[in-house]
Amino acid sequence: MMHWMEADTSLDILQGDITFQKTDAIVNAANVMLTQGGGLAGEITRRGGDVIRRESAAWIAKYGSVSHSNPAYTHAGNLPCKYIIHAVGPVWGDGEEKKKLGICTTASLHLAEKLDLTSIAFPAISTGIYGVPYYIAAEGMLEAILAYCHTQPAGKIKEIRVVLYSKHALDAFLDVFQNLTS
């Protein structure tokens, strides 16, 4: 685990299960149609309940597909957080994966602010079925989070967590964080 502070915002990078995080929101690594099959999206829906699936379908019916720069949100159902922010990350091989990860991370932070939230937890977006290597995901996401912290010293979000399921992911994110801040 690593703890870091910038102005009024803390960043923690830790190993764990994001579905147990007691933050205002957790971020789901979503697909453009918000279908929750396997992986993290499936686990969030299984633990959170059908409200997530229903609200996801309603979002798609009202707004259409979700993009890197425009995440969706639903209530969290039975999870200990209030909201799920559904962020669409890139698929490995489509190009500009690091940039797209930065865009979806920043967009998730801005959506959390619009929802008046003060805490958020991120997974390693796009590292599952989308195949983005941990180091690329870490660079894109952490660069965006650090930029947010530097440019939003009076921002609403006071607590940011990156919650990584595997030790391998944790090691990659900690290495990248060390390189970005040294």
Interaxial angle between packed helices 50-63 and 39-48, expressed in degrees from 0 to 180 and rounded to the nearest 10: 120
Could you tell me how many residues make up the chain?
182
Distance CA 21, CA 122 (A): 10
Over the stretch 162-174, which tens digit does the pLDDT of each residue have?
999 999 999 999 9
Residue 154 has pLDDT above 80, yes or no: no
Q: Average pLDDT in the 41-50 region?
A: 93
Q: How far apart are the first and last CA of the chain?
A: 17
Give percent above pLDDT 70 in the chain. 98
Strand partners, 11: 4, 160
Q: Average pLDDT in the 44-64 region?
A: 95
CATH class of the region 2-181: alpha beta
Task: Enumerate the domain spans of the chain.
Answer: 2-181
Residue 11 has pLDDT above 70, yes or no: yes
Beta strand pairing call for 25-30 and 9-15: unpaired
Over the stretch 62-114, which tens digit does the pLDDT of each residue have?
999 999 999 999 999 999 999 999 999 999 999 999 999 999 999 999 999 99
Residue 125 has pLDDT above 90, yes or no: yes
